[in-house]
A and B are shown apart, each in its own frame.
Chain A
């Protein structure tokens, strides 16, 4: 695989940086429900705490891909999980997945 320019970040981002970016993406989704003041932490669960519907996660998947390209495939990440696991999924687990993927993409 060739590494195209858009996939090269000089430094892979830290957990805190990824959390900040994902929080901004979630704010855009939550705003539509008038919930834009919801606090997002690593422990927040997408459905139980932030009250996102599954279709909102599709929107988030698109935002992740717009930001980091094919390195982040949210659908594949979730496809490996049971429904209960998806419902209990925390923001932190996604943040760590993104950081891991960007780090391994940086090494390859």
Chain B
């Protein structure tokens, strides 16, 4: 599978499944973050291990990102949640699914859980948070700054020097996304869920933070807000936990899914956990 038409949006979708011919243990949808991110962040890290553990693994590029189409407008959070709903409907996935969201991907996951609680079995949120007034203000600042600086050649040259050409390449793409669309204006103007709607999310949530991340101090707030949420911290990491500590994220995800009833194949989950704590 490569491209699906979602209400007029040409969406790049990748789906990996168990190779042993048996039915999958559960469906897991992997949601990537904003700007420099794409489904590739999962495709080469988490997805193969989840498929090998017997899971149906669904990944897609958000609108404007990766290989999915880039409409000039329509980038409020609710549009991203619409896409996820349309994808699940289109693939006739009706049962509850596990969601894994990195950064903004987790915000989309909380959006779906608020909108369709029966369809979400659980959320693993990596360096993420549900949309709120504070989130909108913060994103507004980040996106304005990115829009201004990623258009400058000297910034891109600095990124190339500090972080390598691949990161500079991703930064240039992010600059093109911001320059070619209304994303920077749309995200802060998203329809925000009321606190009561977030409190109504009953599914189990595991929130993963880097100990050095700006988001980590919010863990207690989120644990208190949601009905069934606990936090875990990855030592020494900042925001890029998924990319910088893929083995730890693999181990956490497999043990999280096993804890919530997914009958994973082989000793995959146990081995991963042992490796991560070694």
Contact = CB atoms under 8 A, between A and B. Distances in A.
Interface of A: 47-48, 51, 53-55, 57-59, 61-62, 70, 73, 75-76, 78-79, 83, 86-87
A58 B40 contact: yes
Contacts of B2: 62
Interface residues of B, number: 26
B14 interface: yes
B96 interface: no
B44 interface: yes
Interface stretch (B161-169, B200-208, B263-271): B161-169
B227 interface: no
B61 A86 contact: no
Contact of B165 (A48, A58, A61, A70): A48
A53 B43 CA distance: 13
Given A62-B2, A75-B47, A79-B48, A55 B40 contact: yes
Contacts of A70: 19
A75 B170 contact: no
A48 B66 CA distance: 19
Contact of B243 (A51, A75, A83): A83
A55 B38 contact: yes
Nearest to B44: A78
A75 B43 contact: yes
Indicate the member of A48, A58, A79, A83 with the most B CB atoms within 10 Å: A58
Interface of B: 2, 14, 16, 19, 38-41, 43-45, 47-49, 61, 66-67, 164-166, 169-170, 173, 243-244, 246
Contacts of A76: 48
Given A55-B39, A59-B67, A75-B16, A47 B165 contact: yes
Given A51-B165, A57-B40, A83-B244, A75 B61 contact: no
A53 B170 contact: yes
Given A47-B165, A51-B165, A75 B173 contact: no
A74 to B, nearest CB: 9
Contacts of A57: 40, 44
A1 to B, nearest CB: 11
B44 A54 contact: yes
A59 B3 CA distance: 12
Contacts of A87: 164, 166
